[in-house]
Structure 1
Amino acid sequence: MQLLKNKVVFLTGGTEGIGYECAKIYHKAGAKVSLITHKESSLQQCRMQFFNDDIHYILADVSNPADVQSAIEETIGHFGRIDVIHNNAGVSSPSKTVCGTTDEEWDKVFNVNVKGIYHTTKFGIEALKQSRGTILNTGSLVGNIGQELHAAYTATKGAVNTLTKSMALDYAPFGIRVNAVAPAGVWTPMLRRWSNQQPNVAHIENYLDEIHPLGYCPEGDVVADACLFLISEQARFITGCILPVSGGAELGYRKYMGQQVQKNDVVLPVDKKEKS
């Protein structure tokens, strides 16, 4: 069964990582997909791997209102409608405390992760009212539980969570559902870049496996499966939901960071520095 047959999806950050996995599964489910990215190289690489008449590529920066307005109009001109806006574009850098973050770094993270949603909604809402469509935001578990050395990023993802709920209330009268997915660790190009920025690079892969009680840090396809469900008619009575796609990591963060190691019948605390 094609859950998205004849639907049109406007997908930001769609040429790599979770977005790319979503693009593939949406297309397989019958959707026409407009893929938005600000990276020319990523767009061209994705086009070589994933070229089809039902896939439309647009170079645009979600933090730029003119770019987003143009991309929405181009999508409607190309496909005739929009049924889904999936706000997946995001940045995670810098890995810093509040005091270590510059004004420029702070603004960049918020302009992409939060204001990008503002832009796509502002320019795409009329199309969604016509189609009684849906909005999906890619959040993060750290928007609920916080994370060391990621003040700006976690603040944006907390904002995404509450924004999702407010939008769900605002647009429910128009039959528009608004939800979010909240992954923990997912192996994407962005996560690999993040890993190399951490103080203890040698331990980061083991750390990312261990924070998930199911035992491993997944690839983006597990998130894409959840996204497909939320934008399909299978989730027709779900709105305002922040769905963890985390392998139980909201439990594992606490268990792993505070766990104890027993050696020779003496319980010793784990050195947190080795696990951060």
Structure 2
Amino acid sequence: MQLLDNKIIFLTGGSMGIGLECAKKYAEAGAKVMIMANDEASLIESMKILGEGHSTFFGDISISSNVENAIKFTLKQYGKIDVIHNNAGIASPSKSLDQTDEYEWDKLFNINLKGVFYTTRYGLEALKQTKGCILNTSSVVAEIGQENHAAYSATKGALNALTKSMALDYAKYKIRVNAVAPAGVWTPMLREWAKQQKDPSKIEKYLDDIHVLGHCPDGDVIADACVFLVSDKARFITGNIMPVSGGAELGYRRFE
């Protein structure tokens, strides 16, 4: 028996970056993965990687009807949902609060938080049936902040509080709710952020140095932790924000 045998995982933002690494690890552990994302090309590529038995749904996580239809599609396809992994998120823009405009603020909150509201709203009844779990992708910046990322940090701080409140609300249904909190991880989103910085040539060393273990990892290290958190091995863990950060939060260093 594999760790996630017979599990059906609804994964948002799972067609690239950390999400795709999670999808691959979930599939390797025996789960069937339904990826919802708003990039059609990457959804097609993700299915080539995962192979038969997995599915995709093209949609915007910040639009209520898209999420409702995605959940319905998953239930029609597989008959149940064991895990909802809210991974979809954006980090741009790289700005202080006063430089952030209203459109940018709303987009960050709509994707990073409203998406969680929608997946829970439409997926909770299915999780009650399976006594499943919810996993949120947060960030260490939720606790320590990040220069020139006030709005993004705010969404992740809110996500941590939301994770704990959801864990309390849904414990009576035997539904666990946890979050995973990376620091730097080499993804397309991080590479885009690197390009926005004053001296992109120094970014790689900076990202290595902020991690106490000495390097900025790829997404597979986050995915391994996620497999554990959604498995029965973590059956008595709920309301937990798990740093998978190479110790970055122990001494985040300023980039000069």
- Shared fold, TM over 0.5: yes
Aligned-pair distance for 1:60?
1.1
Supply the distance in 1 between the matched residues of 2:151 and 2:198 (Cα, whole angstroms).
18
Any residues of structure 2 matched to 1:89-104 within 5 Å, and which?
Answer: 89-104=88-103
Q: How many equivalent residue pairs?
A: 256
Look up the match of 2:205.
206
Any residues of structure 2 matched to 1:79-94 within 5 Å, and which?
Answer: 79-94=78-93
Gaps of 5+ in 2: none
User: Any idea what SS the aligned residue of 1:114 has?
Assistant: helix
Write out per-residue CA displacement over residues 34-82 of structure 1, whole angstroms, 9 at most, x where no aligned residue: 0111011211222233321x21011011100000000000000000000
Look up the match of 1:23.
23
User: Any idea what SS the aligned residue of 2:246 has?
Assistant: coil
Supply the distance in 2 between the matched residues of 1:100 and 1:149 (Cα, whole angstroms).
9
* CA RMSD across the alignment: 0.9
Supply the distance in 1 between the matched residues of 2:150 and 2:40 (Cα, whole angstroms).
29
- Maintained 8 Å contact 2:62/2:111: yes
TM norm structure 1 = 0.91
Look up the match of 1:224.
223
2:165 counterpart of 1:166: yes
Supply the distance in 2 between the matched residues of 1:237 and 1:48 (Cα, whole angstroms).
35
Supply the distance in 2 between the matched residues of 1:148 and 1:241 (Cα, whole angstroms).
25
Supply the distance in 1 between the matched residues of 2:236 and 2:50 (Cα, whole angstroms).
32
Q: Whose Rg is larger?
A: 1
User: Any idea what SS the aligned residue of 1:11 has?
Assistant: strand
2:44 counterpart of 1:63: no
TM norm structure 2 = 0.98
- Maintained 8 Å contact 1:210/1:252: no
- Maintained 8 Å contact 1:60/1:67: yes
Look up the match of 1:8.
8
Look up the match of 1:111.
110
- Maintained 8 Å contact 1:164/1:180: yes
- Maintained 8 Å contact 2:23/2:33: yes
